Structure 1
Amino acid sequence: MVDSIEKQWYVLHTYSGYENKVKNNLISRTETMQMQDFIFRVVVPENKVTTVKDGEEKEIIENDFPGYVLVEMVMSDEAWFVVRNTPGVTGFVGSHGGGSKPTPLLPDEVANLLDRMGMSARREEKLDIEIGETISIISGAFAGMQGVVTTKDDEKQQLSVNVEVFGRETPAEISYDNVDKVEY
């Protein structure tokens, strides 16, 4: 039975320090149990931090929320079972125990978390826009403007776009979610 046909983000509680192991286990289980239509993305909230140690600057990856992993999924009984029984997962945040289903994160919470990591909350498998094409910006600071795509990053789901502001070309980084292709 599917409780929700809409994919949403949930928070898993794990043993601290095992977040990446849980992520890898869950991705592996998703493939072996053929749950790709229910479990989409697994993310460990982390950021790159520059530290100085012994007079040298080093860039390290720091876990923002030790003991937690984000998962984008459709909450069906089967998907819930697969995720809940993944080695290292101690439960869902927002579940009251006794087999109750968890509460998903709010869209604003997800957008803020993923934005800090340079990711998009909405996943587009492939954006059908090429470098040099003109796009229309539908939301954000440049909403209502058009721009020319200069670079495209499918991993971060961002475009570099030249937008005309006050008669000058201005480069801008725009998320896939905030653009539409201009049809002539």
Structure 2
Amino acid sequence: MRKKWYVLFTKTGEEKKLKEAIEHIFPPDEVKPLIPRRRLMEKRQGKKIEVVRTLFPGYVFINTVMTEETYRSIKLMPVSAKLLMTDLEPAEVPPEEMKPILRLTSVSDVIGFSTGIRVGTKVKIIEGPLKDFEGIIIDVDSRKGRAKVMLDILNETKKVDLGLTVIKNLEAEL
């Protein structure tokens, strides 16, 4: 049988306890817990500090083959946890809904900062045939991961469509 993604509810703030309980009870190849978190900047007492917050407070995703034994073990866990259900069966999270979460958390369960690339930002191309050229962003399509950049090439201003992975924000270095 193929592993599928399911969702456990717990009390907000107890996600880590639940994840640790799962890791203690189940072998890592049987049940894999995931708590997507994000890194962000918050202002406290006039100072910006870096904090990590849970992306879905009160939820822990698990990747498993949901057998009767796995289901019973989850229900009997020492940490308060309820499985998201549809009628009488555990509800599977559709793969198309898990894809963006897994893409964002592929390296770690903490999603890093946005690169801050937006219209008007000065950028440098770091890969490809236009490497080391600098330009200004005139449009960003973050869904497609692309940006239109105005470049000065051979004494002419040209609009170039580039992937966000090949440009570097020069203003972030200041």
TM-score range, shorter chain: 0.5 to 0.7
The one of 3, 7, 13 aligned to 2:9: 13
Structure 2 runs not aligned, ≥5 long? 110-125, 133-162, 167-174
Counterpart for residue 23 of structure 1: 19
In 2, are the aligned partners of 1:50 and 1:58 still within 8 Å (CA)?
yes
The one of 95, 99, 107 aligned to 1:111: 99
> What is the CA–CA distance in structure 2 between the aligned matches of 1:85 and 1:74, rounded to whole Å?
18
The SS at the match of 1:50 is strand
Q: Which structure has the greater CA radius of gyration?
A: 2
In 2, are the aligned partners of 1:22 and 1:88 still within 8 Å (CA)?
yes
Matches within 5 A, 1:4-153: 5-31=1-27, 36-39=28-31, 41-96=32-87, 100-116=88-104, 118-119=105-106
In 2, are the aligned partners of 1:46 and 1:61 still within 8 Å (CA)?
yes
Identity of matched residues, % = 23
The SS at the match of 2:90 is coil
Structure 1 runs not aligned, ≥5 long? 120-152, 157-162, 174-184
Q: 4+ residue runs of structure 1 moved beyond 3 angstroms? A: 163-173
> What is the CA–CA distance in structure 2 between the aligned matches of 1:37 and 1:114, rounded to whole Å?
17
1:48–1:171: structure 2 CA closer, same or farther, 3 Å change rule?
closer
The SS at the match of 2:89 is coil
1:95–1:85: structure 2 CA closer, same or farther, 3 Å change rule?
farther
The SS at the match of 2:38 is strand
> What is the CA–CA distance in structure 2 between the aligned matches of 1:13 and 1:168, rounded to whole Å?
48
